[in-house]
Amino acid sequence: MHIPDLLARISAEVADEVGKGSAADYIPALARVDTARFGMAVAELDGTVHGTGEWRQRFSVQSVSKVFTLALALAQPGGDEVWDRVGREPSGDPFNSLVQLEHEDGIPRNPFINSGALVVTDELAARGSDVTEELLSFLRKESGSPGIAVDEEVADSEAANADRNRALAYFMASYGNMRMPVPDVLAQYVRQCSIAMNCAELALSGLFLARHGVRNDGSRLLERSQAKRVNAVMLTCGTYDAAGQFAYRVGLPGKSGVSGAILAVVPGRCTVCVWSPGLDARGNSVAGVAALDRFTTLTGWSVF
Ligand code: GLN
C-alpha cells in the first residue's frame, strides 16, 4: 500500500464532505473556526509520517486528550484502580450528559465522555501530578515537537463557558467521586482539552496504542493487556453516542474531539489522525469519519 497515494485519493474522495456540519458552538473560540478545512496523517510503527491537506495545522485536541490522560492514569502504580471510579460501557448519551450519573451513584459510564475524563483527571491530580504538564511532556516526547503547548485563547474561552462540566464535577463530588477540589480539577481538564497539536503530532503520540503499549523510545507505557483495553474502550466509547455507527463505518478504535479531530488506531500497523471542524449532531467530524471510512475500505485495515 503506497500511503501517500492513498491519502491523496481519500482527500479527493471526501472533498464533498468537507465543510458539512457545524463547528462546536458552545465554546466561542471553536465556533469561529472555518469548517471547510481538512487534514489527515498516518504514522507508521517506525515513526514515518505521511500527510495530506492541512496535516501540519494545529488545532485544540479537545476530547482526544482523554485517551492520553487515561493511558497516563493506567500507567501509574496501581493505575487500574481508576476502574473503581469509572465504567467501561458506552453511554448512548451525549458526551456532556448528566442523566446517567444520578442513577449510577456518580460513576461515569466510561472515561471518554466528559464526566469520565473529569474523574481520570482527578485521579491523576490526586496522585500529585500537574496533569497538564505531565500530559504536555508525554505528547512533546512522543511527537518530537517540544513546542506543543496549551492554546491559551481556547483555554480561556472554554473556562468561561464550563458550566456543564462544572455541574458534572460537582454532581460527582456529591457522590464522593471527586478527590480534589472541583475548581482545580476543572482548570486542569480545560487546559488539557486546549492543547494545540496537528494531525502528525497526534498520530505520532498515539503510536504506543498501535504498538501494544510501547512508546516511541522503546520503553513501555502500558502492559499489552492495558493497551488492548484502551483500544477496546476507544472502539466502544470513543465517539460517544455514535460509537456503534463509527464501528460500523470505520471498524477501528477511535477517539474524537469537538475541534473536529479523530485519532484512530490500527493495532500492530499504524495510527491515523484526521481533522476537519464540521461536526455532526453527535459532535464527530463529518469529513473525518468519512475519511476514516474510506481509509479502512480502501486498505482493509480494520480490526474486523
Ligand atoms: N472540552 C470539551 C468539553 O469539555 C471537550 C468535549 C469534546 O471534545 N467532546 O466540552
Write down the ipTM of this complex. 0.96
Q: Measured in angstroms, how far is the CA atom of residue 257 from the centroid of ligand 1?
A: 6
> Which amino acid, 198?
N
Report helix, strand or coil for 7: helix
C-alpha cell at position 216: 516511541
Mutation to probe ligand 1, out of 93, 95, 239 (largest number of atoms < 8 A from CB): 95
235 has pLDDT over 90: yes
Q: Which stretches of the chain are assigned E, i.e. beta strand?
A: 39-44, 49-53, 59-60, 149-150, 195-197, 254-256, 261-266, 270-275
d(CA 18, CA 280): 12
Mutation to probe ligand 1, out of 26, 27, 30, 62 (largest number of atoms < 8 A from CB): 62
Identify any residues that bridge with 49 across adjacent strands, giving them in sequence order. Answer: 43
**Residue 1 pLDDT class (50, 70, 90 cuts):** confident
**pLDDT given for residue 248 in this prediction:** 97
Q: Are residues 303 and 289 in contact, defined by beta-carbon separation less than 8 angstroms?
A: no
> Which residues have a catalytic role annotated?
63, 66, 189, 240, 258
Q: Are residues 263 and 255 in contact, defined by beta-carbon separation less than 8 angstroms?
A: yes
Q: Output the CA–CA distances (angstroms, integers) from residue 36 to 15, 32, 200, 274, 287, in the order listed.
A: 9, 12, 19, 13, 10
Q: Output the CA–CA distances (angstroms, integers) from residue 107 to 68, 111, 178, in the order listed.
A: 20, 10, 10
Ligand 1, residue 240: give the atom nearest the CA.
9
Ligand 1, residue 96: give the atom nearest the CA.
10
42 has pLDDT over 90: yes
**pLDDT given for residue 150 in this prediction:** 98
Average confidence (pLDDT) over 215-238: 98
d(CA 304, CA 287): 22
233 has pLDDT over 90: yes
pLDDT tens-digit map of 105-144 = 999 999 999 999 999 999 999 999 899 999 999 999 999 9
Residue minimizing CA distance to atom 2 of ligand 1: 62
Max CA distance (Å), the chain: 54
Q: What's the N-to-C CA distance of the chain in angstroms?
A: 19
Q: Are residues 62 and 79 in contact, defined by beta-carbon separation less than 8 angstroms?
A: no
Higher per-residue pLDDT: 1 or 178? 178
pTM of the model: 0.98
Q: Are residues 54 and 37 in contact, defined by beta-carbon separation less than 8 angstroms?
A: yes
Average confidence (pLDDT) over 1-8: 94
**Residue 239 pLDDT class (50, 70, 90 cuts):** very high
Question: CA torsion 65→67→69→70, rounded to 10°?
Answer: 160
In the CATH hierarchy, which fold is given to the domain comprising 3-299?
Beta-lactamase (3.40.710)
**pLDDT given for residue 101 in this prediction:** 95
Q: Measured in angstroms, how far is the CA atom of residue 43 from the centroid of ligand 1?
A: 25
Q: Closest Cα to residue 255, out of 271, 240, 239, 242? A: 239
Cβ(114) – ligand 1 distance below 6 Å: yes
Annotated binding-site residue numbers: 63, 114, 158, 165, 189, 240, 258
pLDDT tens-digit map of 72-98 = 999 999 999 999 999 999 999 999 999
Cβ(151) – ligand 1 distance below 6 Å: no
Cβ(261) – ligand 1 distance below 6 Å: no
**Residue 195 pLDDT class (50, 70, 90 cuts):** very high
Residue minimizing CA distance to atom 6 of ligand 1: 63
Q: Measured in angstroms, how far is the CA atom of residue 193 from the centroid of ligand 1?
A: 7
Residue-range domain boundaries for the chain: 3-299
**Mean pLDDT of the residues in the chain:** 97
**pLDDT given for residue 129 in this prediction:** 85
